[in-house]
Structure 1
Amino acid sequence: MQVFKFGGASVKDAAAIKNLSLIVQNYQKEELLIVVSAMGKTTNALEKLTAAYINKTDEVHAVFTGIKTFHHQIMAELFAPSNPVFDEVENTFVEIDWLIEEEPHDDPHFIYDQIVSIGELVSSRIVTAYLNQTGVKSRWLDARGLIQTDNTYREGLVDWELTRKNISETVPQLLQNEVLVTQGFLGGTSENYTTTLGREGSDYTAAIFASCLNAPSVTIWKDVAGVFNADPKRFENVLKFEQLPYSEAVEMSYYGASIIHPKTIQPLQNAGIPLFVKPFLTPKESGTVINAEEFLVKVPVIIVKTNQVLVSVSSKDHAFITENHLSEIFKTLAGFHFKVNLMQNSALSFTFCVDFEAARFKQLQQKLKQDFKFRYNLEVELLTVRHYETPLLQELSAGKTILLEQLSRNTAQLVIKV
């Protein structure tokens, strides 16, 4: 069997969905489970809708109308008006209609998951309908009833025992007769509420299904030819890896390489399942395979994380930063679901770099300012270079304002003012 994951770029419009169908038609003789992301920039639009709803601004209905119009235009290019998919998608959007007519829930993370999850639910409906229309017998599968998580909204923690039981008892017999199309990024709680697995978590979904099904491989279809040592959209003369060990892929994803979600590798590595990253526009190309074969990566790997904020906290009475202070800081960061991308401590302060998100950052600032002095720099980037060489670091940082530099044996990180 095969597990395929198609990201937002590979289902961004009608032409992309037609291309997806052509790829799938080449694998009709195999059992196939497909995981899809929301279409194009839909997740961003749904996040904007969530913020408008929580803040009770006037643009709620305009933003939502734009999201619905975008999807209806794609469906109009793919289907006759009588196709049942129009009603299926409209019924899915009704869930938001009902929600935004009510007062916002006390937990903004809960609201986020209930609204933003609609993107994957709609895209998977459209993809399923189009595959059936093109002769690929397909079934829509609700991931929320299979991937069980706790109530940590926006970062649902998977109950692996229950999830494995759900998938292994349900999916194999369905795969015998139809291609299954399900949603990336989504899980469900024991109370039947929707959770999400973390931003860009569709890769992780594919890994979960593959692990539970003992699949021979997972293929992630991207708009690039494979995994490169740097983003080809930002750097020249980049090198494509034909193969990477799990360990290097974990490091790259941890430091922010956008090609793979950070949680994806572990379940595949534990099960010994190789991961292929292939280009959806040229599917016959080899792409990159990530597997258990260990070898030393000899070229520098450059990773840039944008939209960062650099924070320094210190005690109000000029006391040393102790383990008790650090424990309190990390507890607060975890409570607001911040992942620390870099950290450094001195006698009197603790400095860290995290992704900037205005609403959550304001909450973090308010909480930490109760007990600490709180300073920060916005509009910074985090540059990470694996297997660095000094001349390369000098070239990458030339003429730039470096706010913080940290070097280890194998990894260099620079916080750069944009």
Structure 2
Amino acid sequence: MKVYKFGGASVKSAAAFRNIAHIVKNYGGTKQLLLVVSAMGKTTNALEHLFELAYHQQDFESAYDQCITYHREVTQELIPERDNPVHERLEQLFSQLQQQLQKTSPGANYDKMYDQVVSFGEMFSSTILHYFLQTVALPNQWIDSRKYIQTDDNWREAKVDWEWSERLMKRDLPAILDKQLVVTQGFLGGTIDGFTTTLGREGSDFSAAIFAYCLNASDMYIWKDVEGLLNADPKYFKETIRYPEISYQETVEMAYYGASVIHPKTIKPLANRKIPLYVKSFLNPAAEGTRICDCRFDKIAPAYIIKENQCLISFSVKDFAFISEKSLGTIFNALSQLRIKINMMQNSAISFSICTDFQQERVQRLIQTLHDQFVIYYNTDLRLFTVKNYDTDSLNTILVDKEVLLEQRTRNTFQFVSR
């Protein structure tokens, strides 16, 4: 049994959906295969924008119309027959989204409402894929991942109840997979009382790994628009190297530092059950790709990782006293309460600095929480550069023409924050 995960780029158009059908027919087969699909193209970004408008009581109708028109047009191109139930089902989902937006208001729990709205992207895409595969002789059953990936109510980054999720999946899904394909959604989970949760931005990889773990899959595949796991993002670097094979540990560390190919939480459940992960190109499915498994190498090519939209925040004690363990405890407690993750940190005698993803609302709440105790400065619109397994040449390459605001170096990893 295998798990295939298709990201937003692989379902962004009618041609992309047809390509998925080609991959499934030629490489996946007609059963013992579970397909996990992300929202189409940039739909999650569009839904985030819609949610912001609705939450702040601004007119969202134009943005809403644009979002649903995109999905209608792709569906019409794939399945022009008006009597196909896909059209009615999508209209039901569009109506549910509109109703959810209408009842979103500033008085509501922001993160909870975010999950209820943004989750519609995966519902749209998985519904279209389900009905389209039926039309090309690939029978499949659509399932609601929210009923199988059971989580707590830690909105926007829900924690999985692994034991209960595994029990539910093993109860229902093996019998279905013995007969046909299964299509489901990435990114989504559900609480015991029926609310939708999300697993963190770009969390569809993690969803696929949850299904693979709970169903004891033999392999998991992530289909991307690159030839495999590369040592650098082609958007930033002209020359890249593909890793034919790489260890779970190296991949976890690269994902932690911000490598965009794999979601950081994806590897652990696969490693725990020794399930190989293949990163393959949906543009060239016959190519070798990258195999991530339990292996070791003495030396591998340096990995260059860039995280955009970073914020550098510095805390100083107001009376010029040293930054003590008590001061650090106060800062860390506030960061934990606000769920602000540290990508890099450094302290001196009288200040403590962190680099984090910039989320304006949370940074402002952090400042409000701590302004009585600390002098706080912050810079935005920064980049965090990481070089994993660096050498002299790789550092000379990455540091050219960079203004370094903060840097750190360990035996294997070099990091710095720059404008």
Superposed CA deviations along residues 88-110 of structure 1, whole A, max 9, x for unmatched, are: 11111222221222252521000
Superposed CA deviations along residues 4-57 of structure 1, whole A, max 9, x for unmatched, are: 000000001100001001111122244110000000000000011111111112
Structure 1 spans left out of the alignment, 5+ residues: none
The count of residues paired between Structure 1 and Structure 2 equals 416
Contact 2:228 2:289 (8 Å CA) reproduced: yes
Name the CA distance, whole Å, in 2 between partners of 1:8 and 1:91: 22
What secondary structure, in the 3-state scheme, does the structure 1 residue paired with 2:375 have? Answer: strand
Q: What is the aligned partner in structure 2 of residue 250 from structure 1? A: 252
Tell which deviates more after alignment, 74-83 or 143-152: 74-83
Q: What is the aligned partner in structure 1 of residue 72 from structure 2? A: 72
User: What letter is aligned with 2:25?
Assistant: Q
1:250 CA drift (Å): 0.5
Name the CA distance, whole Å, in 1 between partners of 2:163 and 2:264: 21
Contact 2:157 2:198 (8 Å CA) reproduced: yes
Contact 1:210 1:218 (8 Å CA) reproduced: yes
Q: What is the aligned partner in structure 1 of residue 137 from structure 2? A: 135
Name the CA distance, whole Å, in 1 between partners of 2:369 and 2:56: 20
User: What letter is aligned with 2:205?
Assistant: D
What secondary structure, in the 3-state scheme, does the structure 2 residue paired with 1:64 have? Answer: helix
Query: Where in structure 2 are the equivalents of 1:109-258 lying within 5 Å?
Result: 109-258=111-260
What secondary structure, in the 3-state scheme, does the structure 1 residue paired with 2:184 have? Answer: strand
Name the CA distance, whole Å, in 1 between partners of 2:239 and 2:98: 48
What secondary structure, in the 3-state scheme, does the structure 2 residue paired with 1:228 have? Answer: coil
Structure 2 spans left out of the alignment, 5+ residues: none
Q: What is the aligned partner in structure 2 of residue 261 from structure 1? A: 263
Q: What is the aligned partner in structure 1 of residue 54 from structure 2? A: 53
Q: What is the aligned partner in structure 2 of residue 93 from structure 1? A: 94
What secondary structure, in the 3-state scheme, does the structure 2 residue paired with 1:227 have? Answer: coil
TM-score, normalised via structure 2 length: 0.97
User: What letter is aligned with 2:41?
Assistant: G
Contact 1:308 1:378 (8 Å CA) reproduced: yes
Q: What is the aligned partner in structure 2 of residue 285 from structure 1? A: 287
Identity %: 46
1:300 CA drift (Å): 1.0
Of 354, 373, 382, the residue aligned with 2:356 is 354
1:278 CA drift (Å): 0.1
Contact 2:278 2:292 (8 Å CA) reproduced: yes
Q: What is the aligned partner in structure 2 of residue 6 from structure 1? A: 6
1:233 CA drift (Å): 2.2
Name the CA distance, whole Å, in 2 between partners of 1:65 and 1:361: 32
Name the CA distance, whole Å, in 2 between partners of 1:336 and 1:292: 35
Matched, 1:334 2:358: no
User: What letter is aligned with 1:100?
Assistant: L
What secondary structure, in the 3-state scheme, does the structure 2 residue paired with 1:156 have? Answer: coil
User: What letter is aligned with 2:66?
Assistant: G
Structure 1 runs, 4 residues or longer, greater than 6 Å off: none
Tell which deviates more after alignment, 216-225 or 332-341: 332-341
User: What letter is aligned with 1:268?
Assistant: L
User: What letter is aligned with 1:94?
Assistant: S
Contact 1:4 1:219 (8 Å CA) reproduced: yes
Contact 2:51 2:101 (8 Å CA) reproduced: no
Matched, 1:107 2:119: no
Superposed CA deviations along residues 200-252 of structure 1, whole A, max 9, x for unmatched, are: 00000000000011101100000000011111221122110000000100010
Name the CA distance, whole Å, in 2 between partners of 1:337 and 1:344: 19
